[in-house]
A and B are shown apart, each in its own frame.
Chain A
Amino acid sequence: MPVPSSSAERTLSTTLASNLIDYHRLIDNVADQLAELGWEYPNLFAVRMALEESISNAIRHGNNEDPAKRVHVECRLSPVRFWSKIVDEGAGFNPSAVPDCCAPERLEVPGGRGLALIKAYMTSVEYNECGNCLTMEKRLDVRREAIGDADGEG
């Protein structure tokens, strides 16, 4: 389970309304700060995609865009690590029950690609037991195949 660790990391913590507009400022802020920390374009794209999909999923599917509900986002940023926890106020879901959007017979189904993108762009992705809390992490110091990882051997 990825957990917050270094005291040298920058932290952001915010509570978002359940609309599909306001959270873009948070994503811009995270990307700007990571750029200041030396992150380059492919990895910034990866973080943007993971935040876009995870927060919009929390608003759209978790909270059903209920204005009475909020999404809580915590981020920790360092030159080599992006970590985030996204918590919605919905009933949760079972991520393993989400159909594989990449299966040939489902290619023409318009929805359900957000989770596949989050998993592809992050080093690790975990949901809590009830499925309303997503923790994800991208490490640039780990040699692996995470998409966009400029430090990978390619």
Chain B
Amino acid sequence: MPSPQRLDVNESGSITVIRFRDQKIIDPVAIQELGQELFDLVEKEDRRKIILNFGNVEFLSSAALGKLITFEKKVKRIGAELILTNISPEIFQVFSITNLDKLFKIKDTEADALAVL
């Protein structure tokens, strides 16, 4: 697998913690690349407990939401677990407007997510 370009990936025991490198997730090439990196983690590297930390994300488009939804479906299909954390109030509002706060499991912090995975 090529080294990640859009994501920082760290291990915490059996749990994979992912942080986005981009502050704004709007560029279609970047969205495609980060989507593929996410997909590879579950499809090629067999990661089963995943925390997606949004602490660095200031803005994201509906195209980025679409990629996250596709990722969530893949995670669900293979029986893995995914938790989103550290979402700013503005980004959380985007999830809330589109009802995606009901689709994704969301915790305030990485520590909160680690406690339940």
> Which residues of A are at the interface with B, using a C-beta cutoff of 8 A?
20-21, 24, 41-42, 45, 48-49, 52-53, 56, 101-102, 104, 107-114, 116-117, 120, 147-148
Contact = CB atoms under 8 A, between A and B. Distances in A.
Contacts of A110: 65-67, 69-70
B63 A147 contact: no
Query: Which 6 residue pairs are nearest across A and B when measured between Cβ atoms?
Result: A110-B66, A113-B62, A102-B99, A114-B62, A120-B97, A107-B103
A111 B66 contact: yes
A150 to B, nearest CB: 12
Interface residues of B, number: 23
Given A107-B99, A113-B66, A53 B73 contact: no
Nearest to B28: A20
A154 B62 CA distance: 25
B56 interface: no
6 contacts: A52-B61, A104-B99, A107-B69, A109-B69, A111-B62, A117-B62
A101 B93 contact: no
Interface in B55-84: 59, 61-63, 65-67, 69-70, 72-73
B43 interface: no
Contacts of B90: 41-42, 45, 148
A117 B72 contact: no
